[in-house]
Amino acid sequence: MMKKILALLAAGLIFGQAQAAPTQVLKMSTTTSTENSGLLKLLLPAFEAQTGIRVQVIAVGSGKALELAKNGDVDVTLVHARAAENRFVAEGHGVERRDVMHNDFILVGPASDPSALKGSRDLNQALQKIIAGKARFIGRGDDSGTDQMEKSYWAALGAKPASAQYVSAGLSMGEALNMAAQMGAYTLTDRGTYAAYRMRTGLAIVYQGDRLGDRRMFNPYGIIAVNPRKYPDINHAGAQRLIEWITSPQGRAHIAAFKVDGQQLFFPAGAGK
């Protein structure tokens, strides 16, 4: 009888150990916009439930997210800085880049719109009004995709707000929106994060180029696996599973289903790379 009891206890212990086996962890660097908007809270639980892979998220600006991937500190990166993404892959740091989704950039500011940006015929006119009106402007200043895009806008314009006007915040998108609200300033944001913060900031959309056919405000996101030849110990198999899932019909359906106040904020890309 004692032998049977011991055998049952041993079997139970082995079963318990199997059940307690550690969950596979996948480290992903991504932009603050995917986290601040609330999108990841919808996407990742669905992926984790299906695969058993737990995704550990590091949300920073796109530049820092790519740097983490470059250094092998993460397995995969989801960002929105296409030129930087292309360089990342061309330099051999990443593989399997795929389009995931897009939204758009918008200019937001006080509801009173002190520099009268509403009704601007194009982005350049809107930016010129900010300079001429001497209104405060909050720049991300963190090498994020939004920061890189904003700097390209001023460079194309050939002008920029005076130093007393311009605040380089070095903050996440949500924090930059809060600062703009507190200072009565304008800022550039992705639409998803703005929607998540609209009620708490009271900021209003003052220019939305995509609605006016201004494709300069288009904001695509891509996902890239870190190159396993460079870092053999990374979880490349897990990265591949996430890439396949997020660009699959199921992943695209989850992206399309994410809404704030009934408004769809991200639009999934096709399955192509």
pLDDT given at position 227: 98
Res. 15 pLDDT band, cuts 50 70 90: very low
pLDDT given at position 1: 56
Residue 67: give its domain's CATH number.
Answer: 3.40.190.10
Indicate the number of domains in the chain. Answer: 2
User: How confident is the model over 215-269, as pLDDT tens digits?
Assistant: 789 999 999 999 999 999 999 999 999 999 999 999 999 999 999 888 899 999 9
Both 99 and 226 in a single domain?
yes
pLDDT given at position 118: 95
Both 131 and 213 in a single domain?
yes
The CA-based dihedral angle spanning residues 45, 50, 56, 59, taken in that order and rounded to the nearest 10 degrees: -50
Both 116 and 201 in a single domain?
yes
Is there a domain that residue 11 lies in? Answer: no
Is there a domain that residue 177 lies in? Answer: yes
Buried residues in 128-160 as b, exposed as e (16+ CB within 10 A):
bbbbebebbbbbbbbbbbbbbbbbebbeeeeeb
Both 84 and 142 in a single domain?
no
In the predicted model, what is the mean pLDDT of residues 68-81? 97
Is there a domain that residue 10 lies in? Answer: no
User: How confident is the model over 129-158, as pLDDT tens digits?
Assistant: 999 999 999 999 999 999 999 999 999 999
User: How confident is the model over 79-132, as pLDDT tens digits?
Assistant: 999 999 999 999 999 998 999 999 999 999 999 999 999 999 999 999 999 999
Range of the domain at 178: 104-217
* Residues 212 and 99 sit within 8 Å (Cβ to Cβ): no
Is there a domain that residue 95 lies in? Answer: yes
Res. 210 pLDDT band, cuts 50 70 90: low
The dihedral built from the CA positions of residue 224, 226, 228 and 233, taken in this order, carries a sign that is negative
